[in-house]
Structures are given as C-alpha cells and as structure tokens.
C-alpha cells in the first residue's frame, strides 16, 4: 500500500509473451495486486502470466485495446483498488515509475498521472518514429488549444488513476479501439479531474507493440473527432455519451459488456 491506499497494477496484453516476464520483474514490491487481461492472444501470454503469479483474465475473442482496458479497470475495482496504474506488458515503458506515479495519487496531489515520453526530451532517441513524434506534437498542440489544458502529450499508454476517477467516468461509452486512450484523458479534462505528469523514458524495439501507419491515421482522426465532441459539448451544441455523467460506468458493470473468464 501507499499512504493506506491499495495499489493495483493492470496489464492489458495482446501477444506479449516475449516481454511479459521482463516487465513484471521490474514492478515494485509495493504493488498489492497485479492483474493481466489477455485479449485472446495467440502466443501463450495467459499461461506465462499465470506462471508469474498474476491474476489473469482472458477475453474469449480479440475485442480491442479499449475493451481490454475496461476489463482491466473493472477487475481492479473489484479487487479493492484505491489507485490503479496501467503498465503495458511490452516493456516499452519502465515499470520502475509505478511507485512515483501512484504516490502522486495516493497522497492526493493529482487524480490522474501520466508517464510522458515528451517531457524528458528523449522520445526520438528512444526510437519513436519521426512520423509518430510529429503527429504526437501536432495533435497535442491541437488538444491543448481546444481543451484548455497544458499537457505535454495525450498519447502515452502509461497512466495512473484514482478509484474515484474510474468510478465516475462513463468508460463503457468509449471506443473499443486505441482512441480509448485519448477519450479517457479528454473525459478527465471535461469532468475536472487534476492531471499530473512525470517524465518517462521509452524504448522502441522489435518485440514492443506498436500500431502501424494506417491504424495511427485512424487513431489521429479519432483524436480530432473526440476534441470536436468536447468543444461542441462545452458550448452546448451537442450532447455526447462519453461526456454524460449518467453514461455507462464500470461500477454498473453487469458482466455482459466485458467477456472475461
């Protein structure tokens, strides 16, 4: 625990067999429970996770990265988490920052903390492709302008959340695809949660997962659409389910929305 807060790490996995053990080995001992959700991998990820002592849940089909996260967060809440940190099991982000990120929430400094690849200025030296770096900076500038926030990036997959955030946001209204990551941060801005950042080095290598160019384009278009929904909602020109405080939330999950066993 940290400051009396139960800490749960969730690992949304898809074909992560080659990097899972290295990721888990660097998780700090302060973590109370480690939960892996396998989105119907084909490489034995679930078996390795179980052998490493992780609480393991397996989707009966490949539903997508966003859907994987909703399973991760719902299982973490059911496990009594006060603070939840999402760590990708592809070893691209260092698990050594879990304690720092969780502490910022456990001590009430922030409600959400992200591990930023941009703050430290090492994204490119860590191997981030140029087109991804450029699109990251352009989309971040776009969102800061329209959302009124000042984040260094919105696209990192390394995040920590308080229990209250995960119970408040209508996460079951979000996409099952990669744009879920952007939707949840935009929701955090809309609902007024405090977002902090820590500098996070990252590694791009053959075994690390990464979406291809065409899916990156689709993600970028999704970011633009999410931003416009935020603006329209803010100025009263639209009503969108992802910003509806009465939308479908994890605390109302009945087991049918997420298929895990």
Q: Which pLDDT value is given to residue 254? A: 40
DSSP conformation letters of 3-31:
TTB-EEEEEEESS-TTTHHHHHHTS-TT-
Of residues 43 and 124, the one with the higher pLDDT is: 43
Length of the chain: 261
Of residues 111 and 252, the one with the higher pLDDT is: 111
Alpha carbons 169 and 167: distance in angstroms, whole number: 6
* E strand or H helix that includes residue 33: strand 33-38
DSSP conformation letters of 209-254:
----HHHHHHHHHHHHHHHHHHHHHHTTS---GGG-TTS--GGG--
Q: Which pLDDT value is given to residue 259? A: 38
Give the residue-averaged pLDDT of 210-220: 83
Residue 260 pLDDT greater than 50, yes or no: no
Through-space distance between the first and last CA atoms of the chain, rounded to whole angstroms: 27
3-state secondary structure of 116: strand
Which pLDDT band holds residue 205 (cuts at 50, 70, 90)? low
- Give the largest CA-CA distance in the chain: 52
Domains detected in the chain: 7-239 (3.90.550.10)
Q: Which pLDDT value is given to residue 44? A: 93
Give the residue-averaged pLDDT of 6-20: 97
Which pLDDT band holds residue 128 (cuts at 50, 70, 90)? confident
Average pLDDT of the chain?
92
């Amino acid at each position: 625990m940290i400051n009396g807060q139960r800490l749960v790490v969730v690992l949304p996995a898809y074909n992560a067999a080659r990097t899972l053990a290295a990721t888990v080995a660097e998780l700090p001992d302060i973590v109370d429970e480690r939960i892996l959700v396998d989105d119907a991998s084909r490489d034995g990820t679930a078996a390795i996770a179980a052998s490493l002592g992780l609480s393991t849940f397996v989707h009966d089909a490949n539903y997508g990265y966003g859907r994987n996260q909703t399973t991760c967060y719902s299982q973490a809440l059911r496990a009594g988490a006060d603070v939840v940190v999402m760590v990708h099991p592809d070893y691209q982000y260092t698990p050594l920052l879990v304690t720092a990120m969780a502490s910022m929430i456990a001590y009430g400094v922030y409600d959400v903390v992200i591990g930023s690849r941009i703050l430290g200025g090492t994204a490119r030296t860590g191997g981030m492709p140029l087109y991804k770096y450029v699109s990251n900076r352009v989309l971040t500038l776009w969102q800061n302008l329209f959302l009124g926030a000042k984040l260094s990036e919105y696209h990192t997959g390394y995040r920590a959340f308080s229990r209250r955030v995960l119970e408040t946001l209508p996460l079951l209204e979000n996409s099952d695809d990669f744009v879920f990551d952007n939707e949840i941060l935009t929701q955090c801005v809309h609902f007024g949660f405090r977002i902090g950042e820590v500098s996070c080095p990252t590694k791009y290598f053959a075994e690390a997962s990464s979406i291809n160019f065409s899916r990156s384009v689709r993600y970028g278009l999704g970011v633009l659409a999410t931003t416009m929904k935020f603006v329209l909602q803010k100025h009263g020109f639209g009503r969108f389910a992802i910003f509806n405080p009465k939308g479908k939330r994890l605390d109302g999950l009945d087991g049918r929305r997420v298929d895990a066993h």
